[in-house]
Structure 1
């Protein structure tokens, strides 16, 4: 008998699938392109700086302490951790939908039926025992267990659970990518702070030199060797340099507070070695090969997992066109008097199966299916874009490091030449063989060139940070 019921159920299911599957709408499919160039610059060396831990890459103990503090107290990172927890709970929800739902039920009630109705008339003529009529009003007591289960024939629930797992793993990779960016932002701001300290020190040195030059010009003016115009020009240059001092001090304050914000701290001085900037030497970077980006970059792995989730969503949405098979069961005791509740005669049970398939109004299901497919195509394009962006970032930063090294070497020679020119111009001016304008112009050019040299070094350190981030370093 049971076999006949099963065969009939399978026959109905097959008929339902035949009616619905033949009209399942088609969708545009696109396979993602995972191909990347074989190398960055014709090198097949697989040594990759991106696999180095951040504590080894950033040797400055003050910088390491700032990064460590940020990884514990950065608010945005902590917000992302809660998003990961939300994704983990979504996995539990999907897993719960896949498993049977079991519950307990208990209840009590009272029912008074009108005598002149079919039920009332039957109760009036029904005896529980000889010469013992049905009680009126009729009480009702129930205790039992029930279960419902949607049989996942077409893997709709299973694919939804797998999609939730992929999104959870994608959120973890998103957190790793945020860690990479956070470390890079702190390191970049730290090196900017050191460069500002160095610029401030140069400004103070120039203020002292220009103040001495102003005093000398005033003495020469009293000796009628120069005019009041020369005195005013030297004085104006000194005031200009003093103004630059306060501009840099403001930038230092803002940069310190940017670091404080990233570390989750209120404004306070940032501990650092002020003299460390002059000893900074850019390290050699090993970019490895482009295919390593697929494993090292958290944003690429995140896009890949989101793509996998989107594909599973399409399968789950497609399964909505097929019939759903459900099973419900229950067992318990029911009686009108508590003393009869646990007697064998009060036992009740139920077992039922149902098959439901959308046949007429399927617009909502079609819309969900088309939306899932469109999101899948979005995920494909996003994955390809992420890979392309990662490759270009590495190429740009490696090229920038090379060009900045050449620029720094030339700028160093320029600073050396202008520094010597300042001394020469002062000597010539003192012997009346040079105009004061030449001295002023040479001093300004020397100051600007020193600033540019510091800025170039800062850009070198920034490029080192960015190439490390572009290679996927920092989250390990």
Structure 2
């Protein structure tokens, strides 16, 4: 007889599970493509500058101090650190879902039922002691413990916890990626500030040369060797250079404030070396091989972890098609009168129940969530492939930039040397009336532009090296 009763419940339950199980969609396997070219086209040495710590890579003490301050005070970095805490707490939340929920409950109540009801008639016939009826109205006093637990049969909760842990590790890599960009941004802004300082010094020097030439023109005008047109042309050129001087001063202030923002502080002067900028030699960067990007670039590792988490999300969404098994239990004391509350076994209360539930009809919401999880998995895969491609192209572009800027700087240095000599020659010729004022003006203008471009090229050289160091994954270790 007992066997018949068990089969009466188990067989329908098995049929329900079979119906639900036969329509569960399969997970589409997604393979991540890690293939990268064997080299950047500039050699295949395994030595990699990303292993060099940032305070060793940058040798300027003022710059090192600025970066150190930025790593301590930058608000964006502090926000990212709080995101790390949020991700860590999410792991604890998912971990807690695996354990039973246990709580304590206490309550008191009062109930008055109708006398001519089934409950009222039953209460009147109950005697706790000879000659004493159940009190009316009826009290209800309870104290006890309760527990609820979802048994993780299909590893849904464990997979969700693993996905949360993977996302926490992804957030860590996001923080590391922010570190590399922050260090590079401070360094590039510092080099830009130094370049502006040197450009300003050259403009001021050029204004002095232009005024000297204008004085010569005025003397020649008085001697009737030239006209007012030449005087006004030189005067206009002086005004133009003075205007450029104020433009550079404004750019210096903007760059200083940008650095102060990165350092998380209010405007103040940026301590730096304003001399010897053109004599700075860019650091030699060793790129290693492209496959090292997978381990060194934080954004690549972050994209890989995001893809792993998305795959786990698909498994969690698929587990929703399976039945869930919940267990609930309670233990405590209940009585209608406080003095009876702890009289055992009469006031003892306990319960235990199991609940097995599976989606059978109208599973559209579960199907939609599963499809969305698959779509997010594909998004993560494409993002991972794009991140690897972008990392390779950034390094390749940076290496090409370093090579071309080196050649460009050498040619511009020769151009500036030639124009400096031409300024001396034009001034001598102009004093002896063998050259007109226009030749002097154009020579000075060309020399000024060439000197400013030379400084700009030096800044681009230093910036390109910093970019390659960042693109290789340097700075966060």
- TM-score for both structures, normalised by structure 1: 0.96
Secondary structure of the equivalent of 2:128? strand
CA deviation vs aligned residue, 1:387-428 (integer Å, no higher than 9, x gap): 000000000001100010011011101110111011011111
> Offset at 1:291?
1.0
Q: Using the alignment, how far apart are the partners of 2:79 and 2:388 within structure 1?
A: 26
In the alignment, structure 1 residue 409 sits paired with structure 2 residue 410: yes
Aligned match of 1:52:
52
In the alignment, structure 1 residue 265 sits paired with structure 2 residue 271: no
Aligned match of 2:467:
466
> Offset at 1:261?
1.1
Seen in structure 2, the aligned counterparts of structure 1 residues 452 and 315 have a Cα distance that, compared at 3 Å, is: same
In the alignment, structure 1 residue 438 sits paired with structure 2 residue 439: yes
CA deviation vs aligned residue, 1:224-251 (integer Å, no higher than 9, x gap): 2222222221222111111111111111
Aligned match of 1:286:
286
Aligned match of 2:96:
96
Q: Using the alignment, how far apart are the partners of 1:11 and 1:446 within structure 2?
A: 95
Task: Within 5 Å, give how 1:228-243 maps onto structure 2.
Answer: 228-243=228-243
Aligned match of 1:143:
143
Q: Which moved more, 1:345-354 or 1:41-50?
A: 41-50
CA contact (8 A) 1:104 1:146 kept: yes
Secondary structure of the equivalent of 1:98? coil
Aligned match of 1:161:
161
CA contact (8 A) 2:322 2:358 kept: yes
Aligned match of 1:252:
252
Aligned match of 2:180:
180
Secondary structure of the equivalent of 1:257? helix
Q: Which moved more, 1:2-11 or 1:426-435?
A: 2-11
Aligned match of 1:152:
152
Task: Within 5 Å, give how 1:92-131 maps onto structure 2.
Answer: 92-131=92-131
Task: Within 5 Å, give how 1:196-235 maps onto structure 2.
Answer: 196-235=196-235
> Offset at 1:29?
3.9
Q: Using the alignment, how far apart are the partners of 1:194 and 1:12 within structure 2?
A: 81
Seen in structure 2, the aligned counterparts of structure 1 residues 132 and 372 have a Cα distance that, compared at 3 Å, is: same
Aligned match of 1:393:
394
Q: Using the alignment, how far apart are the partners of 2:230 and 2:199 within structure 1?
A: 27
Secondary structure of the equivalent of 1:147? strand
> Offset at 1:123?
1.4
> Offset at 1:206?
0.7
Q: Using the alignment, how far apart are the partners of 2:319 and 2:241 within structure 1?
A: 73
CA deviation vs aligned residue, 1:354-407 (integer Å, no higher than 9, x gap): 100000010111111111110000000001100000000000001100010011
Seen in structure 2, the aligned counterparts of structure 1 residues 74 and 5 have a Cα distance that, compared at 3 Å, is: farther
CA contact (8 A) 2:27 2:315 kept: no
Q: Using the alignment, how far apart are the partners of 1:210 and 1:6 within structure 2?
A: 107
Seen in structure 2, the aligned counterparts of structure 1 residues 4 and 240 have a Cα distance that, compared at 3 Å, is: farther
CA contact (8 A) 2:282 2:461 kept: yes
Unaligned runs of 5+ in 2: none
Seen in structure 2, the aligned counterparts of structure 1 residues 317 and 277 have a Cα distance that, compared at 3 Å, is: same
Q: Using the alignment, how far apart are the partners of 1:303 and 1:30 within structure 2?
A: 14
Q: Which moved more, 1:42-51 or 1:20-29?
A: 20-29
- TM-score for both structures, normalised by structure 2: 0.96
Q: Using the alignment, how far apart are the partners of 1:58 and 1:384 within structure 2?
A: 31
CA contact (8 A) 1:29 1:377 kept: no
Q: Using the alignment, how far apart are the partners of 1:2 and 1:466 within structure 2?
A: 77
The alignment of Structure 1 onto Structure 2 pairs a total of residues equal to 476
> Offset at 1:159?
1.0
Seen in structure 2, the aligned counterparts of structure 1 residues 388 and 10 have a Cα distance that, compared at 3 Å, is: farther
CA contact (8 A) 1:13 1:355 kept: no
> Offset at 1:223?
1.5
